[in-house]
Structure 1
């Protein structure tokens, strides 16, 4: 039995002091949005409580599916690196980046440099950087954790992601080999690889390409973030439908139009051809300020 915790959309705050040069870009719109809206909904003490609750549950691994920062600034990347060190060792935590982690040109490289230990595949040399990190493969027990990046700098008022041909080709190979090795395959990705799951300006470019890989190679589970919602979709795979699971923002305060902070716990058991995966959703209770189990189901 393997227990995998899943969180996403950390949006670690507060915002650091930014220089005029850093704000002379798309960041200015995000900076204004932070002070008008986001900072009112995202609170560090909620994130701290969530991490404490996960640690008390003692999962075997933690998957983080993107948007760890807000504006893609160097100071934010460094702050997240410190936060990750407190959450767990790189062998225990696997990270994929989101659109906020590639907010402006250059941000993606900063993220890959600062968080490389958490995005390094078992067979990747320590010198790997940037797009060469993805897709990565980490094998823990009988589970294959496969990290895919959709992080891509976009113009103002856009939050789309890209799943390109290079990653599709490599992902197909990884999935087939992991199946031959008898592993339960978990794909971690930020943008939902599902048509209609979010608005067009936030969508993933390459959804058809991703779907083709799933149909040809298969997988047992896809974890994503981006929408801040507790959704469950299913996509056709090689040997049946593949569950596609999202989770609310890890830092979301209660009382908004989206679910409050939460995390998923997935319990994986069985073996090839007879896999079992149980999803438990834990969310922040506004009355008790504690995280409670509010839903569970077999996927």
Structure 2
């Protein structure tokens, strides 16, 4: 039996006011939006979530993005400290979300603080070049993707990009499916009925095509701030989209109260089985 703890959307605060005004409008407006929703997230809940995760003794932890709000230097220091609370880098995967890569400077800023969680590659300006990250854990192959990408002013969209999708296809092609069940993790859900176009994964059709072609059964995601499940089917194959709520949400502004998911994978006589349990952060 293999157990993953699935954490998402910490949105660590307090968020410093970006000194780039008026040079960079997007982080200033982002800060204003954060300030208009006081009490949405509580940093103390992050510590409680980490304690609850350790008590559950998972084999691995995956964090599906939005550790921070605006991608500023001080925020990355807090993000490093927060991920460390969940475990050593070898046992903790992180798939950046849209708030992690809020502006074009965020990729460069993040590398110093978050290098321990990034697979090494030649230096580029795109954090997505570090992904996919593959972790073979027990009966599962956890494949963590980066859907975070700097976008225009009012967009919370994500995009994997053709290069990352190509590397994902190679990873899935090379997996021994007799030994490992593939589990895909990223911030943006590739299928979420009713989701605004301003929050979508732009290249979701290409990802869904890969998931169907390689018969991937489950996707772990964040972004919605809801503990959720949706299903997408093609050619007789169904993929379950499992969303984790924000692990720091107070529930005061419409989000689900803070929780995380435990994903259990087991091997039986007829193949792999998996189940998900949402656990509230007390």
Q: Verify same fold: TM over 0.5.
A: yes
Tell me the residue number matched to 1:15.
Answer: 15
Q: How does 1:222-241 map to 2 (within 5 A)?
A: 222-236=219-233, 240-241=237-238
CA contact (8 A) 2:224 2:245 kept: yes
- 1:237 CA drift (Å): 6.5
Measured in 1, the distance between the counterparts of 2:207 and 2:193 equals: 15
Tell me the residue number matched to 1:164.
Answer: 161
Measured in 1, the distance between the counterparts of 2:10 and 2:273 equals: 29
In the alignment, structure 1 segments of 5+ residues that lack a partner are 285-289, 291-299
Measured in 2, the distance between the counterparts of 1:137 and 1:115 equals: 17
Tell me the residue number matched to 1:297.
Answer: none
Tell me the residue number matched to 1:48.
Answer: 47
- 1:240 CA drift (Å): 2.7
CA contact (8 A) 1:164 1:206 kept: yes
Measured in 1, the distance between the counterparts of 2:236 and 2:268 equals: 14
CA contact (8 A) 2:184 2:218 kept: yes
Measured in 2, the distance between the counterparts of 1:98 and 1:187 equals: 15
CA contact (8 A) 1:69 1:76 kept: yes
Q: Secondary structure at the match of 1:100?
A: coil
Q: Secondary structure at the match of 2:58?
A: coil
- 1:35 CA drift (Å): 1.2
CA contact (8 A) 2:17 2:31 kept: no
**104-113 vs 39-48, which moves further:** 104-113
Measured in 2, the distance between the counterparts of 1:88 and 1:126 equals: 26
CA contact (8 A) 1:119 1:147 kept: no
The answer on 1:254 being equivalent to 2:236 is: no
1:31/1:276 Cα in 2 relative to 1: closer, same or farther (>3 Å)?
A: same
Tell me the residue number matched to 1:221.
Answer: 218
CA contact (8 A) 1:96 1:119 kept: no
1:262/1:75 Cα in 2 relative to 1: closer, same or farther (>3 Å)?
A: same
Tell me the residue number matched to 1:287.
Answer: none
Q: Secondary structure at the match of 2:100?
A: helix
TM-score by length of 1: 0.87
- 1:232 CA drift (Å): 0.6
**241-250 vs 192-201, which moves further:** 192-201
Measured in 1, the distance between the counterparts of 2:123 and 2:160 equals: 23
Tell me the residue number matched to 1:98.
Answer: 97
- 1:178 CA drift (Å): 1.6
Note the alpha carbon deviations across 1:170-204, whole angstroms, 9 max, x for none. Answer: 21121122244621111111111015352111111
- 1:41 CA drift (Å): 1.0
Tell me the residue number matched to 1:114.
Answer: 113
How many residues align? The count is 281
The answer on 1:176 being equivalent to 2:173 is: yes
TM-score by length of 2: 0.91
Tell me the residue number matched to 1:207.
Answer: 204
Note the alpha carbon deviations across 1:109-128, whole angstroms, 9 max, x for none. Answer: 322442232232xxx56978
CA contact (8 A) 1:222 1:242 kept: yes
